Amino acid sequence: MSDLKPPQLKNDCFALPPGVDWTPVDDALDRLKDRLTRVVSEKIVPAAEANGCILAADAKALRSNPPGANAAVDGYGMAHAATGDGDQLLPVVEGRAAAGAPFDGTVPLGSAVRILTGALLPNGVDTVVLQEDVSSDGSRIAFKGPIKSGANTRKAGEDVQAGNVIFASGTRLGPTELALLAATGVTDVSVYAPLRVGVLSTGDELASAGESFDPARTFDANRPMLLSLIEDWRMSPVDLGHAPDDRVALRRILDAAAERSDVILTSGGASGGDEDHVSALLEETGSLADWRIALKPGRPLALGIWKGVPVFGLPGNPVAALVCTMIFARPAFGVLGGEGWKEPQGFLVPAAFEKRKKPGRREYLRARIRDGRAEVFKSEGSGRLSGLAWADGLVELPDGEMDVTPGTPVKYLPYNSFR
């Protein structure tokens, strides 16, 4: 499999129709879903090293699982045809069948053989009696009939048949998937290269944590938050550092970023102010789409293409940056990285809070589950960064008006559902 990459995205892929002002969340998501395509290349890797990778081609079983009919318990094997109702008494042949050490020969009709869990069923055996249900004097066994034909056995290939597709292209591999690949003899898989997500913070007001205690400087929380989020999503984070409010410097940083990233996340500088240089540079390329999304927190989302690489210009506020990344960037990354469009799994749970929501915008509240109910952070202020750490997910309130009282069903999205 070659490392040939698919075509780059077109500069107008994020363009909005004429006259669009406020974009509902669902419309924004539909546009992203329709206009994005995969940007990563394919490669062959050992299956044992593919944890976190996305399959680029269907994975097929090279061997059935289990490969042969075997015993599901410790006990005694025999032909069901030799059993009946009531008390059963059968002679036991010499030798035994054990996992990895099959019985050599055929068990005569009307006889039984000692068999252990996982052992291949010997010729002449199609049924196993559980050890605890048997009395034995060493040469004979006694048990109560009737027993079911095929009892306590596993059929060859009852889990997976050789040649069957076990995982479709686009599946992200984890520990359980790797286990099934190994069990069915798959040693190499075709996967997509991990999506390289560049993360850039912008603005003269920012400083790295501990760098300056000037109250006019804000410690940069977005970059460490987003880089760790990308890593948690099993993608490849690329730290692009911090760009000052200098258009020439930012252009140079974006040029370099496009060489080492498949998609770029910027925070800050994405609106239309004098120092919003991300938007200004994307506008120079003719690719800027300033999406004003009917969303709280969030709203401004600048999208564009820089040297063929998609750029998501996030709000500078950490709460809004996280929400926009989860709601918009995460499913888009799935398409760009070959996984396909991935929506978070939400759950309806009773509310443990009160809120009168106005119509017009979809809202995401920092929330956590306690005693089966959704609590929300005490303040909706987007500057309250502590609420992100307090929460373990988001409550999504719909676009329209809604009165929430304790017990009202609300949609809860765990942070982990975005993985």
pLDDT digits (tens, 9 = 90+) for 386-418: 999 999 999 999 999 999 999 999 999 999 999
Token readout for 408 is: 């009202």
Strands 153-154, 70-71: pairing kind = antiparallel
pLDDT tier at 215, thresholds 50, 70, 90: confident
Report, as an integer, the average pLDDT of 224-252: 94
Token readout for 299 is: 């709203």
Report, as an integer, the average pLDDT of 130-147: 96
Checking if the pLDDT of 98 tops 50, the result is: yes
Checking if the pLDDT of 275 tops 60, the result is: no
Non-local (6+) Cβ contacts of 158 within 8 A are 66
- What are the residues facing 236 on neighbouring strands? 196
CA distance 7 to 13: 13
pLDDT score for 245: 86
Average pLDDT across the chain, whole number: 92
CA distance 257 to 259: 5
CA distance 235 to 227: 10
Could you tell me the domains of the chain? 22-41+193-336 (3.40.980.10), 45-51+55-65+158-192 (3.90.105.10), 70-154 (2.170.190.11), 347-418 (2.40.340.10)
Residue 312 in 3-state DSSP? strand
Burial of 63 (0-12, 13-18, 19+ CB in 10 A): middle
Any idea which residue has 């820089």 for tokens?
Answer: 306
Check: CB of residue 392 under 8 Å from CB of residue 361.
no
Cα–Cα separations (whole angstroms), residue 123 to 75, 90, 325 = 16, 17, 60
Burial of 382 (0-12, 13-18, 19+ CB in 10 A): middle
Token readout for 209 is: 């944590």
Tell me which of 6-20, 69-83, 204-218, 299-313 is least confident: 6-20
Checking if the pLDDT of 274 tops 70, the result is: no
Count CB neighbours of 274 within 10 A. Answer: 7
Check: CB of residue 153 under 8 Å from CB of residue 121.
yes
pLDDT score for 1: 47
Check: CB of residue 96 under 8 Å from CB of residue 114.
yes
Report, as an integer, the average pLDDT of 216-230: 91
pTM flag (> 0.85): yes
Non-local (6+) Cβ contacts of 341 within 8 A are 33, 331, 334, 335
Checking if the pLDDT of 179 tops 60, the result is: yes
Token readout for 206 is: 């920012």
Helix (H) or strand (E) holding 241: strand 236-243
